[in-house]
Structure 1
Amino acid sequence: MRQITLSNGTTVEVECLSCAITSGMVEPDGGVVIETEHFHAHQDVAYPIKGLIILASKRHIYGFDELTEEEKMDYINLLTKIRKVQREVLGIEHVYYFYNEDTTHHFHTWMVPRYEWMNDFGRSVESLRPVLHHARNEMNDQENVNEVIKSIRMLIKALREERE
């Protein structure tokens, strides 16, 4: 078991944070953006960037090659739906997608929006690390976190409406 302090200050003891979140044992701030049988999408509010989404598999795997055919279809459909509402609801024009297979968690993809203020850190994938550090260390005031929570609710609403 590992002891992890969440962005809201709560400490949890879990074997795998991703498993705890996707199973509902740990509720992410702002709630679940969208969920299917195979995947769970939420925002890590520790990085308070409007529209930043983490899409995690519910099954504890590490790489693309471990996805079943059904999971592959679900994954691409969810990425597409989330991306569509990021653009339509939050006006996000560009997104960086990344995942790594040497994580201590399991399979998850980060969808990181690209905003104008990020240009100060560069215009390539190498800019993501300093952008995320800046967001975590300099943008974690209550006003910005409230804006992020508001954007999460907007995405949730749009994704629900799309399903109906």
Structure 2
Amino acid sequence: MREIILSNGKAVQVECLSCALTSGKIMPDGGVITETKYFHAHQDVAYPIKGLVILASKRHIKCFDELTEEEKIDYIYLLSKIRKAQREVLGIEYVYYFYNEDTTHHFHTWMVPRYDWMYDFGRSVESVRPVLLHARNNMNNEENMKEVMDAINVLTLALNKREAF
């Protein structure tokens, strides 16, 4: 078991955070944004940044090359659908995508929006960690959490209401 600290400061004990999230044992703030047969999208549970979406495999795999053909098609379709919603309903102009295979979680992609305040930490991939830590340590307040929850609701409605999005 590992202890994971959520964005709200709550600690949870899990063997695999992705298994707990995709199975519904742990409910991310705002719930599931959207899901398919193969993937689950939710607000990142560790960093309170509006529109920071994690797209995780429901299967316990680590590497991109472990995806089946059906999962690959579903993945790129859902990833692009989420990105379009981020742009259209949240006004997110740019996103950094991260995927790493040496994770303790399932195969997943971070969709990290870039906001103007983030450029104070730099403009490269190296700026992301300080941005995430800043959000966890300084943005876990009522006003920001309301913005995060509002963004989750808007994304959820956009992604689940209009299939042709």
Q: How many residues align?
A: 164
Is contact 2:7-2:48 (8 Å) kept? Answer: no
1:74 is matched with which residue? 74
- Give the 3 Å change call, closer, same or farther, for CA 8–116 of structure 1 in structure 2: closer
Counterpart in the other structure of 1:102: 102
SS at match of 1:154: helix
User: Match for residue 136 of structure 1?
Assistant: 136
Tell me the secondary structure at the aligned position of residue 163 of structure 1: coil
Letter in 2 for 1:47: Y
CA contact (8 A) 1:18 1:56 kept: yes
- Aligned position for 1:42: 42
Counterparts in 2 of 1:89 and 1:130: CA distance versus 1, 3 Å:
same
Q: Distance in 1 between matches of 2:25 and 2:132?
A: 26
Alignment of 1:45-124 (within 5 A): 45-124=45-124
**How far apart are the structure 2 equivalents of 1:128 and 1:7?**
16
Alpha-carbon separation, structure 2, partners of 1:129 and 1:13: 23
- Which runs of 5 or more structure 1 residues have no equivalent in the other structure? none
Contact kept? 1:45, 1:145, Cα under 8 Å: no
Q: Is the 8 A contact 2:6 2:45 kept in 1?
A: no
Which secondary structure state, in structure 1, belongs to the residue aligned with residue 61 of structure 2? coil
Residue aligning to 1:154: 154
- Once the two structures are TM-superposed, the CA of residue 45 in structure 1 deviates from its matched residue by 4.2
> Which AA in structure 2 matches 1:12?
V
Deviates more, 1:40-49 or 1:84-93: 40-49
What is the TM-score with the length of structure 1 in the denominator? 0.95
Q: Contact (CA 8 Å) 2:51, 2:112: kept in 1 or not?
A: yes
TM-score of the two chains, using structure 2 as the length reference:
0.94
AA matched with 1:82: I
| Deviation by residue 1:76-126 (Cα, 9 ceiling, x = unmatched) | 001010000000000001000001111111211000001111111111111
Unaligned 5+ segments in structure 2 are none
Superposed CA RMSD in Å reads: 1.4
Tell me the SS of whatever aligns to 1:56: strand
The residue type paired with residue 36 of structure 1 is T
